[in-house]
């Protein structure tokens, strides 16, 4: 079942009074503790590939709390706290928890990103800065300069305003897509920190004297596969970050004379039925390199033998892999 993350985020935020939304935007840490009785504390940054797509974690409790990485910038910490507040809303939302969703984790991450962007970025500013459907990567950079919100919040707001499937990425000049927000209709996802390559628009914009790169391109996924032809536009800002807008559109949003036949926007999914949990799912990720089977998005298992059993942390009461407990401790690395 497919849902619209932006619409769900707006629904979740209806429980917050307009005056309280202003408090959340100005000082998320204090407002979350006062308005929702959720403790906000700092923690060391997570190792690559762990935790949310942002620098924080949410623990439902019984005493709910949000942990935010202490090395993040103030703007990124505000985005992170509001993102994790979205997880708190979802934890107590019967509607979302009762829906039959194949990939609930991905759904939750996208809704939480939308919650944060909705609070931090006024609609009037977005509509003034991002021309409908034809905005460029430089426009996204301009939104960041004008808003004072995090770069990630600006990418999420911009992706929502695409008129076709596509995405908006925040990357680095080596071609790494550090963070990517996707339009709800986009069938594929670019994982956090996925290297796009030296010939990518991100890398080309980073090394071009004009600080821009544009044209027909392909995006690369964490599995190593690539999309079909898409239109892309990238811009390298003065602070070293590179913004990229991707539109899976047969006509270029920026160059009206440029057209191509858009045959495929990504690899085809495979329908699987997990032999372990029995759930049926659609899977885009590449097969496991060891056993050749697709990994079930529900239980995260393929046909490989199971490793060490996960353990319950005595602090956050969450089920975590053994490597999250230093030297056999009863508390995980997040709770130490």
The pTM for the full model equals 0.65
Mean pLDDT over residues 26-52, rounded?
80
Domain presence at residue 105: yes
pLDDT at 142: 92
94 and 148 together in one domain: no
Q: What is the pLDDT of residue 306?
A: 63
Q: Which two tokens stand for residue 83?
A: 């993102």
Q: Tens digits of per-residue pLDDT, 104-114?
A: 777 888 899 88
**Domain final residue, candidates 225, 247, 269:** 247
- Express as a percent the part of the chain with pLDDT over 90: 39
Q: 221 to each of 105, 152, 197, 229, 238, how far by Cα in Å?
A: 18, 19, 11, 14, 27
Note the pLDDT tens digit of each residue in 73-114. Answer: 888 898 899 999 999 999 999 888 888 766 677 788 889 988
By the 8 A CB rule, do 281 and 102 touch? yes
Q: Which residue has the higher pLDDT, 224 or 268?
A: 224
Higher pLDDT, 228 or 266: 228
Number of domain units in the chain:
2
308 domain residue, yes or no: no
Residue 50's pLDDT band (cuts 50, 70, 90) = very low
Quick one: average pLDDT of 167-183? 94
Residue 208 pLDDT class (50, 70, 90 cuts): very high
Same domain, 213 and 149: yes
Q: Assess whether 80 and 164 both reside in one domain.
A: no
Kindly report, residue by residue over 114-130, the tens digit of the pLDDT.
898 889 887 888 888 88
What CATH code is carried by the domain that includes residue 95? 1.10.10.2910
Q: Check residues 252 and 327 and name the one with the higher pLDDT.
A: 252
**Tens of pLDDT, residues 231-271:** 999 999 999 999 999 998 887 887 765 555 554 445 556 77
Are residues 218 and 113 both part of a single domain? no
């Amino acid at each position: 079942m497919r849902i619209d993350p932006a619409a769900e985020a707006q629904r979740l935020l209806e429980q917050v009074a307009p005056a309280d939304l202003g408090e959340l935007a100005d000082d998320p840490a204090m407002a979350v503790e006062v308005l929702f009785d959720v403790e906000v504390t700092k923690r060391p940054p997570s190792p690559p590939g762990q935790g949310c797509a942002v620098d924080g974690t949410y623990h439902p409790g019984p005493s709910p709390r949000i942990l935010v990485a202490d090395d993040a910038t103030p703007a990124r910490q505000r985005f992170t706290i509001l993102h994790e507040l979205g997880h708190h809303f979802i934890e107590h939302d019967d509607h979302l928890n009762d829906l039959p969703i194949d990939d609930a984790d991905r759904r939750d991450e996208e809704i939480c990103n939308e919650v944060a962007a909705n609070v931090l970025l006024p609609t009037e500013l977005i509509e003034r800065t991002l021309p409908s459907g034809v905005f460029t990567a430089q426009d996204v950079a301009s939104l960041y300069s004008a808003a004072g919100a995090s770069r990630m919040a600006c990418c999420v707001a911009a992706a929502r305003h695409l008129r076709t499937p596509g995405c908006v990425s925040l990357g680095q000049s080596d071609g790494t897509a550090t963070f990517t927000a996707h339009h709800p209709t986009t069938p594929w996802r670019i994982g956090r920190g996925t290297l796009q390559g030296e010939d990518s628009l991100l890398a080309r914009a980073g090394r071009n004297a004009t600080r821009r790169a544009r044209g027909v391109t392909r995006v690369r996924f964490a599995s190593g596969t690539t999309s079909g032809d898409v239109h892309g536009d990238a811009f390298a800002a003065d602070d070293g970050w590179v913004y990229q807008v991707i539109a899976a559109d047969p006509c270029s949003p920026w160059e009206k004379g440029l057209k191509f036949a858009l045959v495929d926007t990504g690899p085809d999914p495979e329908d699987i039925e997990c032999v372990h949990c029995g759930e049926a799912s659609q899977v885009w990720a590449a097969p496991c390199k060891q056993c050749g089977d697709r990994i079930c998005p529900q239980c995260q298992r393929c046909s490989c033998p199971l490793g060490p059993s996960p353990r319950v942390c005595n602090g956050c009461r969450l089920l975590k892999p053994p490597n999250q407990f230093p030297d056999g401790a009863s508390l995980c690395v997040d709770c130490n």
